[in-house]
Structure 1
Amino acid sequence: MADTLTPVLTAGWGDERSWTLEAYRGRGGYAALDTALGMAPADIVTMVKDSGLRGRGGAGFPTGMKWGFLPPEDPEDPKPRYLVVNADESEPGTCKDTPLMMASPHTLLEGVIISSYAIKARTAFIYVRGEILHCVRRVQAAVAEAYAAGHLGTDIHGSGYDLDVVVHTGAGAYICGEETALLEGLEGRRGQPRLRPPFPAVAGLYASPTVINNVESIASVPSILEHGADWFASMGTEKSKGFGIFSLSGHVKRPGQYEAPLGVTLRTLIDLAGGIREGHELKFWTPGGSSTPILTAEHLDVPLDFEGVGEAGSMLGTRALQIFDETTCVVRAVLRWTEFYKHESCGKCTPCREGTWWLVQTLANLEKGIGSESDLDQLDDVCDNILGRSFCALGDGATSPITSSIKYFKEEYLAHLSGGGCPFDPIRSTVFADEGVLTP
C-alpha cells in the first residue's frame, strides 16, 4: 500500500485538530507561500505549466495554461483580476473536495494565496455549496485564522502583496458547478450558464479577467512550489501527471479517499479498499461520478488517467468511483441519476429542459416493465438530441449513464419488459430465478 498511495493532500488528515492553523504549520504549512512570494508571478505560472497539473474538477484542462489565458494588463484600461475556487461539489458520487476542506482548509488557502499572486489577483472567492454548512464554517474559520496570522490582508509576509479572500455560500443549485453559472450566482443572479465567448479569462466575474479552478487543483499548488515541478511530473503517466484523490464508495469493504498517482487501476484501488463486499462481485462502476459513462468488470485494469479512461469510452471526471455489485439493478440506478439531472436542470436550454423530462418518463416505464423494446431506441434518440446541443455539460452528463448502460446491459432492460417489472425486486426475484431470466 505504501508503494501505491501518495499521501500529499491527505497526509495530515489524521492529525489531531488537523484543520487548525497550528496543526498546518506543524506540517510545514505556509512555507511554500514564502517561496512563492520570493518569485516573479510569471515564474510560478511557468512552474505550474511545467508540472503538468491538469484541472482536478473533471475536465482535466492544464491549470498553468488556463492561467496563461489571462490577457496582459492594460494600463489604459486597468481591470481587477479574480481567482474563483469552485467548491460547489455536488455531483452524485463525488466527495473529495469537501473532506479536503474539512480536514485541511489551510492547504486550500495557501494554494489560493499562491495562485492569486501568480495571476496578479487581489481578491479571491471560494464558492462553497450551501448545503454543506459545516464545511462553510470550517473554511470561514480558517480564513479568519489566516487573516490574524498575516497570511491574508495587506502586505502579506512583508512582500507588499495584498489579498482578500471571500467565502461565498451557494444556494444549492447543482448547475452552479458549471463555471459560468457559478459566476452568475456570485454576481447575485440566477445560476444559469453563459454563452461563450467571451470566456471567463477575458470577461468573467464582474466582466473582468477571471480564473476558475477546482478545490483540489488549487490545493495541489503549494506542494508543487515546495517540491518542484519535476517532482510532481515524476508521478502519474506521460500525459496525466501527478497524484489525485480517488473516492471509492458503494459495495467495497472500506469506502473512502485514496490518494494515488494518476494511472492507478481500479483493481488496485479495490484491493486497497479491502475488496468487494463478501460474497459478491463487481458488476459496474463509474470512473468520475454519475455524469460519466459507466464501465464494467472488464475495465478493472484500465489506467485511471485522462487518456486511459477516455480510450475505454468514459471520462476520468472527478475520480468518483462508485462501485456496484451484482445485486444492483442498473436500470434503477440510471433512473435515479437521471431524476437528479432532470431536477437540477436550470431550464435555460430546450434540449436539456425537455430532454431530461422525457428520459425520466421513459426510464421509469422501463423500470416498471411498461413499454416495448422500441423505447430503448427512443432513449438513444433523445440522448442524441441532447448531446452536444446544450448550453453546458449537464445535458451531456445526463445522457452518459443511459447510453453506456444500454451498451453493456441491454439484456437487463429487456428482462424488465419480458418480466413485467424489475427482476431485482425482492418479491419478484424468486419468480425470475425459477424462469432463469436474471437473478440478483
Structure 2
Amino acid sequence: MTEPRGVDPVTPVLTKRWLSPKSWRLSTYEQLEGYTALRKALAGTPEQLVQLVKDSGLRGRGGAGFPAGVKWSFMPPNEDKPHYLVINADEGEPGTCKDIPLMMADPHSLIEGCIIASYAMRSHHCFIYVRGEALHCIRRLNSAVREAYAAGYLGANILDSGFDLDITVHAGAGAYICGEETALLDSLEGRRGQPRLKPPFPAAAGLYAAPTTVNNVETIASVPFIVNGGSDWFRTMGSEKSPGPKIFSISGHVEKPGQYEAPLGTTLRELLELAGGMKDGIPLKFWTPGGSSTPLFTAEHLDVPLDFEGAAAAGSMLGTTAVQVFNETVSVPWAVMKWTQFYEHESCGKCTPCREGTYWLAQILERMVEGKGTETDIETLLDICDNVLGRSFCALGDGAVSPITSGIQYFRDEFLALCDENAKPAMELAGAH
C-alpha cells in the first residue's frame, strides 16, 4: 500500500472557508482569496488553462474519475456553435452528500470555477443543474449568482477582459436518473429525463445539439485552487494517478458522521479515526466506498487506498466517495434489498434490462428478506444481474446490481440462511431492525 503523499489528512483546501462566519457571502469569499484565481486566469489564454488542469491531474469527482483537462480539450476550438458548460449538481446517490454542503457553505468557489472553466472552453453560458429537493441550496446559489453579477464577475465584459458569461441555476424535479449526464441534458431542454444513446457525445452534440461539457460541482470548485496554487502544488496531495484533495461523505454507524476532506488515497481506517471510530464500539461489518452503486467492501478492506486505482484494484469503485458504514447488527440482504428498491423506483424505464431487472431483483429480495427464500433464488439473482450488467442504456443498471453481486460474494451465508425451510426474516436474524 502506498502512503498518501503531501499534506496532513485534515489540512483543508476545498472546505477551508466552510466554518467562516457567513461563508456563503461574497464579502467573506473575497476576504479569503475569492476571485483572485479568476483575475489570474483571465490574464492567460484558454489553451493555457486547459493545459494547467491537464497537468494538475484533476479527475472528475462525480464518480467516473475521467481527467477533467482531457474532457475540456474535447471542446472544439471554433465557435460556429455556442459552447455550454453544464454543472451536474443533481446529487442523488444514496450516501452522497458532498456537493450540497459545498454549495451551501461556499457557493462562490463553484461560481468562480464556472467562470474560469467557461473561459477555458470558450463558453458564454453556464447552467448549474441542482437537485430539486435542495431548496435552501438553490436559494443560496441564486443569491450568490446575483452577488457575482452585481460585482461584475458575471455578465458582459467580466473584469474588463472582453469575456462575457451568463450563469443559469436550474432546479431539477428530483429524479436520480438526471445525475446521468445525457439524461440531465434532456431534462434541461424540457424533456423527460432519460439517457441518450452515445455517440454523439456531449462534447460534439450536447445541450441544444451544441458542444457541451458536463462537470461535477466538486471538480469545478477545485479549479480556482489549482489556478492559484499551480499543478505541482495540487499534485502534492493524493496519489500519483489520483492527485488532490477529496470530500468524503461518511454516514452510518460512526460516532461523528459528516463531510471529511482528505487526500485521495486515504484509507477507511484513517477516515474512521477522523469520524471518531465505530458507533458504540460495535465492530464494522461492511461499507460502501462510493455510495450504493459501488460494490461492497468488508472489514478486510480497511487499508485499501481510496483513490480511483486503489478502489478498482480491490474490486470496487471510488464513485462519489460516499462512505456508508454498517456495523455487525445489520443484515446484508436487508440492506441490499433497500438499495434495490431505490433503483427499481428510480429506473427511468427507457431500457428493458434495467426496467424489468430491477423490478424482479426487488421482488426476489423482498421475499427472501421475509424468510421465504428458496435455494434457487441466489442463482436467479445472479443470473438477472448478469443480464442487467453492461446491457443497460446507462450506468444505473450497473449500479443496481453492484450491491447484490458483491453482497452475495462476501456474505453468501446470510443469503443462504434466508433460503432455509426454517428461515427467520432477515431483520430477526440481524437482531437490529
TM-score range, shorter chain: over 0.9
Q: Does the 8 Å contact 1:292/1:317 carry over to 2?
A: yes
Q: Which amino acid in the other structure matches residue 358 of structure 1?
A: W
Instruction: Map 1:3-18; keep pairs closer than 5 Å.
Output: 3-18=8-23
Where does residue 77 of structure 2 map in the other structure? 72
Where does residue 245 of structure 1 map in the other structure? 247
CA-to-aligned-CA distance 1:245-287 (integer Å, 9 cap, x gap)? 0110000001111111100000000011110012300000000
Give 1:369 shift: 1.3
Supply the distance in 2 between the matched residues of 1:279 and 1:207 (Cα, whole angstroms): 54
The partner residue of 2:423 within 386, 403, 420 is 420
Q: Does the 8 Å contact 1:327/1:424 carry over to 2?
A: no
Q: Does the 8 Å contact 2:370/2:426 carry over to 1?
A: no
Q: Does the 8 Å contact 1:362/1:375 carry over to 2?
A: yes
Where does residue 215 of structure 1 map in the other structure? 217
The partner residue of 1:279 within 278, 281, 306 is 281
Supply the distance in 2 between the matched residues of 1:6 and 1:417 (Cα, whole angstroms): 49
Where does residue 3 of structure 2 map in the other structure? none
SS of structure 2 residue aligned to 1:362? helix
Where does residue 265 of structure 1 map in the other structure? 267
Supply the distance in 2 between the matched residues of 1:215 and 1:272 (Cα, whole angstroms): 24
Supply the distance in 2 between the matched residues of 1:117 and 1:3 (Cα, whole angstroms): 33
Aligned-pair identity in percent equals 65
Q: Which amino acid in the other structure matches residue 38 of structure 2?
A: L
SS of structure 1 residue aligned to 2:213? strand
Supply the distance in 1 between the matched residues of 2:199 and 2:239 (Cα, whole angstroms): 32
Instruction: Map 1:360-439; keep pairs closer than 5 Å.
Output: 360-418=362-420, 419-425=422-428
Where does residue 126 of structure 2 map in the other structure? 124
Change (3 A) 1:392 1:93: same
SS of structure 2 residue aligned to 1:167? strand
Where does residue 64 of structure 2 map in the other structure? 59
Where does residue 36 of structure 1 map in the other structure? 41
Where does residue 32 of structure 2 map in the other structure? 27
Where does residue 159 of structure 2 map in the other structure? 157
Supply the distance in 1 between the matched residues of 2:251 and 2:347 (Cα, whole angstroms): 25
Q: Which amino acid in the other structure matches residue 172 of structure 1?
A: G
Instruction: Map 1:315-334; keep pairs closer than 5 Å.
Output: 315-334=317-336
CA-to-aligned-CA distance 1:316-337 (integer Å, 9 cap, x gap)? 0000000000011111111010
CA-to-aligned-CA distance 1:380-420 (integer Å, 9 cap, x gap)? 00000000001100000000000000000010111223242
Supply the distance in 2 between the matched residues of 1:87 and 1:312 (Cα, whole angstroms): 29
CA-to-aligned-CA distance 1:162-199 (integer Å, 9 cap, x gap)? 00000001011110000000000000000000001100
Runs of 4+ with deviation above 3 angstroms: none
Q: Which amino acid in the other structure matches residue 35 of structure 1?
A: K
The alignment's C-alpha RMSD in Å is 1.3
Q: Which amino acid in the other structure matches residue 222 of structure 2?
A: S
Supply the distance in 1 between the matched residues of 2:402 and 2:11 (Cα, whole angstroms): 31
SS of structure 2 residue aligned to 1:220? helix
SS of structure 1 residue aligned to 2:61? coil
Supply the distance in 2 between the matched residues of 1:270 and 1:231 (Cα, whole angstroms): 27
Give 1:423 shift: 4.7
Where does residue 435 of structure 1 map in the other structure? none
Supply the distance in 2 between the matched residues of 1:182 and 1:429 (Cα, whole angstroms): 39
Give 1:11 shift: 0.5
Q: Which amino acid in the other structure matches residue 227 of structure 1?
A: G
Supply the distance in 2 between the matched residues of 1:422 and 1:309 (Cα, whole angstroms): 33
Q: Does the 8 Å contact 1:41/1:117 carry over to 2?
A: yes
Give 1:342 shift: 0.4
Q: Does the 8 Å contact 1:6/1:261 carry over to 2?
A: no
SS of structure 2 residue aligned to 1:197? coil
Supply the distance in 1 between the matched residues of 2:316 and 2:288 (Cα, whole angstroms): 9
Q: Does the 8 Å contact 1:280/1:325 carry over to 2?
A: yes
CA-to-aligned-CA distance 1:16-56 (integer Å, 9 cap, x gap)? 11100011111110000000000001000000000000000
Supply the distance in 2 between the matched residues of 1:421 and 1:181 (Cα, whole angstroms): 41
Give 1:371 shift: 2.6
Give TM-score scaled by structure 2 length.
Answer: 0.97
Where does residue 103 of structure 2 map in the other structure? 101
Supply the distance in 2 between the matched residues of 1:217 and 1:411 (Cα, whole angstroms): 40
Where does residue 433 of structure 1 map in the other structure? none
Where does residue 4 of structure 2 map in the other structure? none
Supply the distance in 1 between the matched residues of 2:35 and 2:197 (Cα, whole angstroms): 38
Paired residues, number: 426
Q: Does the 8 Å contact 1:94/1:318 carry over to 2?
A: yes
The partner residue of 2:360 within 358, 361, 377 is 358
The partner residue of 1:203 within 205, 209, 218 is 205
The partner residue of 1:185 within 184, 187, 197 is 187
Supply the distance in 2 between the matched residues of 1:225 and 1:422 (Cα, whole angstroms): 55
Give 1:233 shift: 1.3
Where does residue 140 of structure 2 map in the other structure? 138
SS of structure 2 residue aligned to 1:263? coil
Q: Does the 8 Å contact 2:249/2:321 carry over to 1?
A: yes
SS of structure 1 residue aligned to 2:419? helix
Give 1:234 shift: 1.7
The partner residue of 1:290 within 289, 292, 303 is 292
Where does residue 434 of structure 1 map in the other structure? none
Q: Does 1:49 align with 2:54?
A: yes
Greater shift after overlay, 232-241 or 398-407? 232-241
Give 1:429 shift: 6.6
Supply the distance in 2 between the matched residues of 1:369 and 1:375 (Cα, whole angstroms): 12
CA-to-aligned-CA distance 1:130-179 (integer Å, 9 cap, x gap)? 01111110100000000000000011011111000000010111100000
Give 1:422 shift: 2.6
CA-to-aligned-CA distance 1:329-376 (integer Å, 9 cap, x gap)? 111111010000000000000000000000001101111111312100
